[in-house]
């Protein structure tokens, strides 16, 4: 992974100005509903997220990156539909589309690339992330790692604003998950050239329910 490491760090840094900071990855609602109360709960939440939505996002990012690198842009559309089919919650669909759009909008300014004009009008976030990785000459494996990292960093950063917790503990939880994340990203990367229909579909029904509740909340800190 020596080549392109800097570009991967640029793309997956939460400080990339693409609006990701406004989202908690479902954590705000999980806390409100009493499902996450302490650091052990947070770790379980992050593990659940990594092995479900995170693993799916990583596989789709890898596949989208592979499709862009191989100039199979028709596959990018199919991947987007397949991802949509794995996202039952209308609220989460909306969030994913919004984040995907924001990422591509930011990339037009940060790193103009001819691929932008040829991509479908709207893309879900993991698919957009894979495309952005390809624009930066990254590999599918990088795309998987980057999107998985982002999937967990969102809630891990949001937690300090949402409950009384030591920020070091939140990062310790992340550090303990590192081996699991490496395994998930490695598995995801094997889908780089796979038939879109065969990509994983690990569901997280509670996340879907929680996201719908959150969208209906009158007062909230995070958009999701």
Site for another protein, rule CB under 8 A: 15, 17-19, 21-24, 94, 97-98, 101-102, 104-106, 108, 116-117, 119, 121-122, 158, 161, 218-223
- Name the residue nearer to another protein (CB basis): 153 or 189: 153
Distances (CA, A) of 46 to 29, 103, 148, 150, 206: 14, 23, 11, 12, 13
Minimum distance from CB of 19 to another protein (Å)?
Answer: 4
Minimum distance from CB of 94 to another protein (Å)?
Answer: 6
Given a contact cutoff of 8 angstroms between Cβ atoms, the answer to whether 182 and 188 are in contact is no
Total residue length of the chain: 224
- Name the residue nearer to another protein (CB basis): 23 or 145: 23
Helix intervals (H) in 111-220: 115-118, 125-135, 140-162, 167-189, 205-216
Measured in whole angstroms, how far is the alpha carbon of residue 187 from the centre of its chain? 16
Minimum distance from CB of 108 to another protein (Å)?
Answer: 5
- Name the residue nearer to another protein (CB basis): 12 or 24: 24
| Closest CA relative to residue 78, chosen from 201, 188, 195 | 195
- Name the residue nearer to another protein (CB basis): 191 or 222: 222
Minimum distance from CB of 103 to another protein (Å)?
Answer: 8
């Amino acid at each position: 992974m020596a080549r392109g490491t800097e570009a991967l760090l640029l793309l997956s840094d939460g400080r990339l100005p693409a609006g990701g900071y406004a989202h908690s990855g479902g954590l705000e609602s999980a806390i409100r509903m009493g499902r996450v109360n302490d650091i052990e709960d947070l770790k379980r939440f992050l593990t659940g997220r990594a092995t479900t939505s995170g693993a799916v996002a990583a596989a789709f990012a890898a596949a989208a990156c592979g499709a862009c690198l191989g100039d199979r842009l028709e596959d990018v559309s199919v991947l987007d539909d397949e991802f949509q089919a794995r996202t039952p919650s209308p609220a989460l669909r909306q969030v994913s589309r919004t984040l995907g759009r924001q990422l591509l909008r930011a990339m037009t300014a940060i790193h103009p690339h001819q691929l932008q004009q040829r991509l479908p009008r709207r893309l879900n976030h993991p698919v957009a992330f894979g495309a952005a990785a390809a624009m930066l000459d990254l590999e599918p494996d990088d795309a998987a790692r980057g999107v998985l990292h982002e999937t967990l960093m969102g809630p891990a950063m949001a937690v300090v604003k949402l409950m009384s917790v030591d920020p070091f503990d939140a990062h310790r939880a992340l550090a303990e998950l590192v081996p699991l994340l490496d395994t998930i990203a490695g598995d995801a990367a094997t889908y780089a050239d796979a038939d879109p229909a065969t990509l994983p579909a690990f569901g997280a029904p509670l996340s879907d329910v929680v996201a719908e509740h959150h969208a209906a909340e009158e007062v909230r800190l995070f958009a999701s």
